[in-house]
Each structure stands twice: as C-alpha cells, then as structure tokens.
C-alpha cells in the first residue's frame, strides 16, 4: 500500500507533457510554478493565426518547436512570457525563417527570466536564417528583462520593432548577437558573448517602405566578451549609438568599429563613455573589470 501511495504522489507531482501546440484564447494562462507546462515537437507552438492570444500569460513553460515557438502576426497585445525556455528542435530549411519568438504585428510583449535558444537553419551557401527573437516593424512595445538568447544561426535579438527596452539581456553564441534595424532601442545592461561574426550591428533602410531610416542604440552598460576578434560594432549609414559604460574582454587587435553598406565615420553618430576605449588604430581596449 505504501509503495502505491508513493507512486501516486510522483504521478501527481510530475508535469505531464502537453499537446504539441496550443490554440490561443484571450487572457489564457499557460503553466504555473505548481504545474510547469512542457511541450515538444510542434511546427509552431503558439500561432495567433489560429486564435487571439491577447492577454495570455505563459509561466514556467518548457517549449520546443520546429519553425517558431511563438508566432505573432495578427495584432495580438499584452502577452507575457516568464520563467520559461523556448528552444528549436533541429536545423530547418533556410526558407522557413525559424525564430523562437516572431513578433510581426501587435503591441506590448514582455519576456522575462526566459531562455530562447537554438533556432537554426541547415548549412548552405547563402545567408543562414534563424533568430532567437525576430521583432518586425509592425510590433510596438517589447520588453526583454533577464533574458538569455543563445545558439541561433542569425540574430540573437534581430529587431525592427518600436518602443523596445532591453533590460539585463545576454546574447551568446549567435552569428550576430544584436541587430538593430531602423528602430530606436534603449538598454540598461546588455551582454554580448562570443558571437561568430558581430557583437552589435545596426542596419539602415532607405527605400521608404517603413520610413524609419537607421538603427540606433542607447545603452547604460554593454559587456563585450569573446575569444575571437569579432568587431564590437558594425554600423550602417546614419546609425546612432550611445553607450555610457563598456566592459570589454576581447583579444588584442579586435576592431571596435567597422562600417558596412555605406556607413562611415562621417555619417554615423557614436557617443562612447570613458570605459569604451580604443587604440590609435581603432582596436578595442580591455577594461580592468571582471566580466561576468
């Protein structure tokens, strides 16, 4: 009898694996501390093409999917993702544009204390897609707080959204840890660790489609750490970057700034605090602070 009671308790305490995808409903709550939510293997786990998820709160969830974890294309609003993990299952075809969170249209998305990782495409001769977070121009109001973005074959945070706050965000092991496109991004503290190509990149659109011009970043503190000589900043024309404090731990000879697609020292605005040092040759100077 005692053994049966113990086994029953284990069954009650262990979270069951949920269905592989959800049909969202307004103001739903998915997962809790008492009953964590686990799901694996869907194509898109939450997709607002199948229903309105506005007001949904996702808590203590472990989600894996193939093409996208959370897909927001239909003016959804006021969604919270907290204390969760959203991961890609395996490399996808390049044409599928996989992303942990894809926010194209809508407003007010809060992601906090969450890890988003391993959104990748199969190797090919072209540009490899795969973003941990892909935030498009039609989305307004995105806050990332205590978020880790890792292992994606394109951007960690790849953003065109408006009204964005990055609050204690770590992007590690992505191709480009942060990409800012014709949008203004504010940050308290962000970490860029071991990108394969670029720590932070700004891009500029001049075709008039969105009317926003160049990407920009205003940050109180940025940590750059890598074992290779990936440039800290890669700037397109008309970029604006203001960093009050830098923590730098990179190999000697690492370029602080490089320019692309017509960017140059004469057409970007770069405002750096005293700890963001550069040599006479433009290489980054490490700071005397232990990097986290």
Paired sense of beta strands 61-72 and 85-88, if any: parallel
Model confidence band, residue 226 (pLDDT cutoffs 50, 70, 90): very high
Q: Mapping DSSP to helix (H, G, I), strand (E, B) and coil, where does residue 13 land?
A: helix
Q: Among 51, 126, 69, 117, which residue's Cα sits nearest to residue 95?
A: 126
Mean pLDDT confidence for 213-217? 87
Q: Encode pLDDT of 23-73 as tens digits.
A: 999 999 999 999 999 999 899 999 999 999 999 999 999 999 999 999 999
Specify if 292 maps to a domain. Answer: no
Sequence-separated (6 or more) residues with CB below 8 Å from residue 32: 59, 60
Specify if 277 maps to a domain. Answer: no
Number of domains within the chain: 1
Q: Is the pLDDT of residue 13 over 60?
A: no
Q: Among 93, 53, 87, 89, which residue's Cα sits nearest to residue 73?
A: 53
Specify if 55 maps to a domain. Answer: yes
Looking at per-residue pLDDT, the higher value among 214 and 42 belongs to 42
Between CA 77 and CA 57 the distance in angstroms is: 11
CATH number at residue 76: 2.160.20
Q: Where are the alpha helices (DSSP H) in 34-129?
A: none
Give the pTM.
0.92
Q: Encode pLDDT of 130-163 as tens digits.
A: 999 999 999 999 999 999 999 999 999 999 999 9
Q: Which range marks the domain in which residue 70 is found?
A: 2-272
Between CA 272 and CA 280 the distance in angstroms is: 15
Specify if 48 maps to a domain. Answer: yes
């Amino acid at each position: 009898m005692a053994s049966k009671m113990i086994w029953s308790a284990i069954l009650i305490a262990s979270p069951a694996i949920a269905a592989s995808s959800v049909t969202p409903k307004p103001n739903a709550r998915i997962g809790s501390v008492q009953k964590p939510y686990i799901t694996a293997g869907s194509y898109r786990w939450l997709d607002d093409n199948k229903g309105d998820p506005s007001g949904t709160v996702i808590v203590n969830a472990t989600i894996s999917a193939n093409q996208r974890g959370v897909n927001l294309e239909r003016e959804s609003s006021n969604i919270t993702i907290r204390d969760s993990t959203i991961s890609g299952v395996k490399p996808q075809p390049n044409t599928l544009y996989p992303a942990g969170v894809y926010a194209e249209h809508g407003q007010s998305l809060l992601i906090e204390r969450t890890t988003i990782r391993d959104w990748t495409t199969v190797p090919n001769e072209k540009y490899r897609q795969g973003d941990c977070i892909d935030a498009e121009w039609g989305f307004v109001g995105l806050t990332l707080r205590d978020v880790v973005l890792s292992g994606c074959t394109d951007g960690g945070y790849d953003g065109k959204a408006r009204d964005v706050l990055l609050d204690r965000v770590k992007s590690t092991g992505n191709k480009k840890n942060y990409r800012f496109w014709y949008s203004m991004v504010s940050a308290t503290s962000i970490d860029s660790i071991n990108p394969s190509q670029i720590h932070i990149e700004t891009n500029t659109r001049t075709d008039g489609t969105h009317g926003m011009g160049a990407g920009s970043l205003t940050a109180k503190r940025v940590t750059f750490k890598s074992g290779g000589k990936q440039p800290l900043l890669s700037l397109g024309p008309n970029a604006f970057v203001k960093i009050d404090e830098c923590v730098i731990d990179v190999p000697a000879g690492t370029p602080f700034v490089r320019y692309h697609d017509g960017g140059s020292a004469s057409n970007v605005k770069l405002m750096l605090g005293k700890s963001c040092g550069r040599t006479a040759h433009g290489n980054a100077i490490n700071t005397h602070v232990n990097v986290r």
